[in-house]
Amino acid sequence: DTAVSQTPKYLVTQMGNDKSIKCEQNLGHDTMYWYKQDSKKFLKIMFSYNNKELIINETVPNRFSPKSPDKAHLNLHINSLELGDSAVYFCASSQGGRLAGTSTDTQYFGPGTRLTVL
Amino acid sequence: AQSVTQLDSHVSVSEGTPVLLRCNYSSSYSPSLFWYVQHPNKGLQLLLKYTSAATLVKGINGFEAEFKKSETSFHLTKPSAHMSDAAEYFCVVPGFQKLVFGTGTRLLVSP
């Protein structure tokens, strides 16, 4: 049983298009995240949601819009794709609540979505 | 702000020899620290975590790490490398509702 799943696994698209990546977790966790991994393997947080509420938006361009229809899902929609958006996007989840502060809860990662913008 | 520095971008070992992946942290207080592993074209998996209990932490697949406050270090070790250990390893410090990743160390294991 997959704990954190993402679709699609690969996404190839043209500049200027709009695309979405879906994420689902079946762990019953309260908090979900999106991370971006660049070509140098550097990972950086993009968004954090707790129980459908946005907690962190790390200076991500507003072309990126996360949507959480319920606490088990956190989708990422990207408008007007640019070459620099090419990366691997990872979804993750953890148990901690919004008042957890500096959380030591283990984050469970999905397999990643490799986005290539041509 | 808390941060981690991974001192080596690549480490090469032979199968059966010890592994040492180095990580230094910067924090105004004793932090929690994690090591995550990413196998090629896979997601990230938690190897081990330190949360101010025992300073020597044992993880999965025979890895362990020791928290040394005097040296601000949290190096990852394994006595004997296996081919399946070849992967990217990240030292990580938790921030508010997020993880802060080091730049990663690629472990190469040769037969």
Give the pLDDT confidence of B39-63 residue by residue, as tens digits.
987 889 999 999 877 889 999 999 9
Domain count, chain A: 1
The reply to whether A103 falls in a domain is no
Give the 3-state secondary structure of residue A36: strand
Q: What is the CATH number of the domain that holds A66?
A: 2.60.40.10
Which residue among A31, A106, A111 places its CB closest to the CB of B49?
Answer: A106
DSSP-assigned letter for residue B96: B
Using a CB–CB cutoff of 8 Å, tell me whether B46 touches chain A: yes
pLDDT beyond 50 at B110 = yes
Confidence of residue B30 (pLDDT cuts 50, 70, 90): low
Confidence of residue A101 (pLDDT cuts 50, 70, 90): very low
The alpha-carbon gap from A22 to the nearest alpha carbon of chain B, in Å, equals 15
Q: Average pLDDT of B59-78?
A: 95
Pick B26 or B96 by higher pLDDT. Answer: B26
Confidence of residue A103 (pLDDT cuts 50, 70, 90): low
Q: Is B103 close to A48, i.e. CB distance below 8 A?
A: no
How far apart (Å, rounded) are the C-alpha atoms in residues A104 and B8?
25
Q: Which of B101, B81, B99 is nearest to B91 (CA)?
A: B101
Q: Which domain holds residue A45?
A: 4-98+108-117
Cβ atoms < 10 Å from Cβ of B5: 14
Q: Average pLDDT of A7-29?
A: 96
| Optimal mutation site among B98, B103, B106, interface A, most CBs of chain A within 10 A | B98
Confidence of residue A97 (pLDDT cuts 50, 70, 90): low
Confidence of residue A104 (pLDDT cuts 50, 70, 90): confident
The reply to whether A53 falls in a domain is yes
How far apart (Å, rounded) are the C-alpha atoms in residues A44 and B110?
30
Are the CB atoms for A94 and A39 separated by under 8 Å?
no
Q: Which of B107, B83, B62 is nearest to B16 (CA)?
A: B83
How many CB contacts within 8 angstroms connect chain A with chain B?
Answer: 62
The alpha-carbon gap from B81 to the nearest alpha carbon of chain A, in Å, equals 22
The reply to whether A33 falls in a domain is yes
* pLDDT tens digit sequence for A40-94: 889 999 998 888 888 888 878 999 999 999 989 999 999 999 999 999 999 999 8
pLDDT beyond 80 at B19 = yes
C-alpha distances in angstroms, A68 versus A49, B4, B49? Answer: 8, 31, 29
Structural domains in chain B?
A: 3-106 (2.60.40.10)
Give the 3-state secondary structure of residue A81: coil
Phi-psi region at A41: left, alpha or beta (left = phi > 0; alpha = psi -120 to 50): left
How far apart (Å, rounded) are the C-alpha atoms in residues B18 and A15?
46
Contacts of A109 in chain B (CB under 8 A): 43-45
Question: Can you list the pairs that A46-53 forms with residues at least 24 positions away whose Cβ atoms lie under 8 Å?
Answer: A46/A76, A46/A89, A47/A74, A47/A76, A48/B97, A48/B98, A49/A74, A50/A96, A50/A97, A50/A98, A50/B97, A51/A97, A51/A98, A53/A98
The reply to whether A21 falls in a domain is yes
Which residue among B43, B44, B99 places its CB closest to the CB of A45?
Answer: B99
Confidence of residue B3 (pLDDT cuts 50, 70, 90): confident
Q: Is B96 close to A103, i.e. CB distance below 8 A?
A: yes
Q: What is the pLDDT of residue A1?
A: 61
The reply to whether A24 falls in a domain is yes
Pick B89 or B1 by higher pLDDT. Answer: B89
